[in-house]
Amino acid sequence: MSTQTVQTTSHLPQTIEPRNPGMDLDLSWVRSVQANTSAIERRAKTLPGRRSVKKEYQAAWLLRAIECIDLTTLSGDDTAERVRRLCAKARAPLRSDISEALGINNLQTGAICVYHDMIETAVDALAGSGIPVAAVSTGFPAGLSPFHLRIAEIEESVKAGAAEIDIVISRRHVLAGDWQALYDEMRAFRAACGDAHVKAILATGELGTLRNVARASLICMMSGADFIKTSTGKESVNATLPVSLVMIRAIRDYHERTGFRVGYKPAGGISKAKDALVYLALMKDELGDRWLPPDLFRFGASSLLNDIERQLEHHVTGAYSAGYRHALA
């Protein structure tokens, strides 16, 4: 098989097309948003069986999934050495023999996601690779620290070299229907990020209803979010297909009305290659091919890459290997 070079795409949306500037709060639009839960759940149940790709087509989709992974380590026992290993995996996500058999060069993951204290370590380990460092912020995962400290945390992370900031919204504003407070909070977070790419984490498992998810998604986009993200990965319920369908359609509606594209990131609970294929198919069906590159779509995952690598080894050799044969950070 002839050697191919993967086309590298800039990961930050604002470097490819105009960044979402946000807009004035439109409460009439927000209050008009509804969600038909039964219809959404019926549609979500059909998704896993609607798109089945095999052989070289499946391998190609899995390679795209790798490009969209935010390799993540958010544990209390994180160390500098663990982060360096994760960065090495981001630079070369597949074993060399698998890459050679597939004829792939220059494959990289979408980003590395760490806590603030590990930003400088990650930036140093990724120097020259073009892979951005994302930092969780604003009192992650609960988002309940004092407001001025959340702003300061964002500013410190940007100063340390983070190119992307994953902020958590105040769920209490959504549950109380205080959309003005949520909008003002998000605008302040966006301003503190400056040129850094901002992902708004909705923590959808704690928002109560799909209607709340839809309205919170819209508020975050009105506030200038570059991405909307399902979860911190720390909730009891993380990324699900019904929630993803609601958020993706909110993105579509926002783009149709304003002309600005906002990215989507499902996070938490996505650990199997087959799940990644379902999410990619959903993005293609609902938003089109433009939302498939990593500047507009990411997976928040820590173990997904390992299963994708096993599936690609099976494609190359015809046999599955034990999971322990694949390097983990």
Active site residues: 166, 229, 265
Cα separation of 192 and 275, whole Å? 34
Beta strand extents in 243-319 (DSSP E only):
263-265, 299-301
Q: What is the CA radius of gyration of the chain?
A: 19
CA diameter of the chain? 58
Pure H helices in 54-178: 55-67, 80-91, 96-102, 119-125, 147-160, 171-175
**Cβ 50 vs Cβ 247: under 8 Å:** no
User: SS in 3 state form for 195-260?
Assistant: CCEEEEECCHHHCCCHHHHHHHHHHHHHCCCCEEECCCCCCCCCCCHHHHHHHHHHHHHHHHHHCC
Neighbours of 25 (CB within 10 A): 16
Query: b/e for 86-104, b at 16 or more Cβ within 10 A?
Result: bbebbbebbbeebbebbeb
Q: Six-digit token pair at 175?
A: 């549950």
Q: Six-digit token pair at 82?
A: 């663990």
Pairing, β 111-114 against β 164-168: unpaired
Close Cβ partners of 219 (under 8 Å, ≥ 6 residues apart): 25, 30, 179, 182, 183, 186
**Cβ 158 vs Cβ 165: under 8 Å:** yes
